[in-house]
Amino acid sequence: MTREILLLAHTGRRDAVEAAVTVAERLHSAGLRPVMMERDIASLNHVIGDRLREVSLAVAEREVALADCEVGMVLGGDGSILRAADLVRGAGLPLMGVNLGHVGFLAESERTELDASVQWVVDQNYTVERRMALDVQVWHAGRHVGSSWALNEASIEKQSRERMIDLIIEIDGRPVSAFGCDGVVMATPTGSTAYAFSAGGPVVWPEVQALVMVPISAHALFSRPLVTDPDSIMAVEVLQREDEQGVLWCDGRRFMELPPGSRVEVTRSAEPVLLARVHQTPFSERLVDKFNLPTSGWRGPVDPANQVETPDAFHRGEVAKR
């Protein structure tokens, strides 16, 4: 039985196109069948001509169902991986990202590891990590008017540059605070290093089960980021003020206008996003690498074998007054 591998690339970038050609050829040579979306094949052929004439590219959703693919290789940055996650939603397909962009927090490997990434897929040398996603529901005037989902975050933002938007935030059916602001971000642990991070939110390790709510430039005494139970219901309401139009963005890709009185509810989705992982490096190391954080002077933990027993240096009792 032929193994089929979904290949997704940012076909508007020449480096991604060349990477897609390389991956398709390597997969074909290894006896695997590369699968691409029809529009991506057309874009690819427009740039490279008939360079892939010897490769039997299959058309996704017409010749091969997404759910029948073994894994999806995504060539691009985090934006490409977010687009891929949206495309394969519901197919149960793990995604392996090869970073051709800048930070690439969601990617598993860098462009220098392109050949190795193909070999990992050929050898099935990866594990599958489940990342929490969000379900997003929108209400207005007592009516359900829209639904979406997000891997990183759902953000409610002001539509006008000239003025703030008045919002009230709610956790588990109880109002927490109301304020004028530029918006509110509701994020997963995965999204804590994206928009929520830029808004001043905490970095949450991906393994932590939690939801994050971060006000953006709020004019209030209490405007701290909140970390809630993963089963909490987070909500934001646009207050009934004149011309208080807002907009809801999901992963910066899907949007919906929010008239005054709109209500957005966010909960943990029952369907996680699957990421193919090879590197078992701690998240702290990934954090340092991606943000290029300074760590000079670090000495590391003391080796118990070399530990010298000394008297306890802690003092008991009150600190002497000076």
Mean pLDDT of the chain: 93
Q: Is 163 annotated as a binding residue?
A: yes
Res 206 pLDDT > 90: yes
Q: Which of 21, 61, 16 is nearest to 37 (CA)?
A: 61
Task: Give the start-to-end residue ranges of the domains of the chain.
Answer: 4-131, 134-268
Q: Is 115 annotated as a binding residue?
A: no
C-alpha R_g of the chain = 24
The topology under which CATH files domain 134-268 is Tumour Suppressor Smad4 (2.60.200)
Catalytic residue, chosen from 40, 78, 166, 251, is: 78
Res 180 pLDDT > 80: yes
The topology under which CATH files domain 4-131 is Rossmann fold (3.40.50)
Q: Is 193 annotated as a binding residue?
A: yes
Mean pLDDT computed over 153-169: 93
d(CA 12, CA 40): 10
The verdict on whether 166 is a catalytic residue reads no
Q: Report the pLDDT value the prediction gives residue 241, as an integer from 0 to 100.
A: 76
CA distances from 28 to 7, 17, 42, 94, 182 (A): 12, 17, 19, 20, 50
Res 320 pLDDT > 70: no
Residue written as token pair 């963005």:
249
Over residues 90-112, the pLDDT tens digits come to: 999 999 999 997 878 899 999 99
Q: Is 56 annotated as a binding residue?
A: no
Q: Is 297 annotated as a binding residue?
A: no
Res 16 pLDDT > 60: yes
Q: Is 126 annotated as a binding residue?
A: no
Over residues 60-85, the pLDDT tens digits come to: 999 999 999 999 999 999 999 999 99
Confidence of residue 319 (pLDDT cuts 50, 70, 90): low
Q: Which of 45, 62, 63 is nearest to 9 (CA)?
A: 45
Mean pLDDT computed over 134-151: 98
Provide the whole-model pTM. 0.91
Q: Which of 257, 269, 241, 78 is nearest to 156 (CA)?
A: 257
Res 44 pLDDT > 90: no
Q: Is 316 annotated as a binding residue?
A: no
CA distances from 62 to 1, 35, 239 (A): 19, 10, 46
d(CA 23, CA 31): 12
Q: Report the pLDDT value the prediction gives residue 53, as an integer from 0 to 100.
A: 79
Cβ proximity of 265 and 233 under 8 Å: yes
- SS3 for the chain is CCCEEEEEECCCCHHHHHHHHHHHHHHHHCCCEEEECHHHHHHHHHHHCCCCCCCCCEEECCCECHHHCCCEEEEECHHHHHHHHHHCCCCCCCEEEEECCCCCCCCCEEHHHHHHHHHHHHCCCCEEEEECCEEEEEEECCEEEEEEEECCEEEEEECCCCCCEEEEEEECCEEEEEEEECEEEEECCHHHHCHHHHCCCCCCCCCCCCEEEEEECCECCCCCCEEECCCCCEEEEECCCCCCCEEEEECCCEEEEECCCCEEEEEECCCCEEEEECCCCCHHHHHHHHHCCCCCCCCCCCCHHHCCCCCCCCCCCCCCCC
Over residues 208-267, the pLDDT tens digits come to: 999 999 999 999 988 999 999 999 999 999 998 777 789 999 999 999 999 999 999 999
Q: Is 99 annotated as a binding residue?
A: no
CA distances from 17 to 6, 41, 284 (A): 15, 10, 32
Over residues 288-298, the pLDDT tens digits come to: 998 999 999 99
- Please state, as a whole number, how many other Cβ atoms lie within 10 Å of the Cβ of residue 105: 23
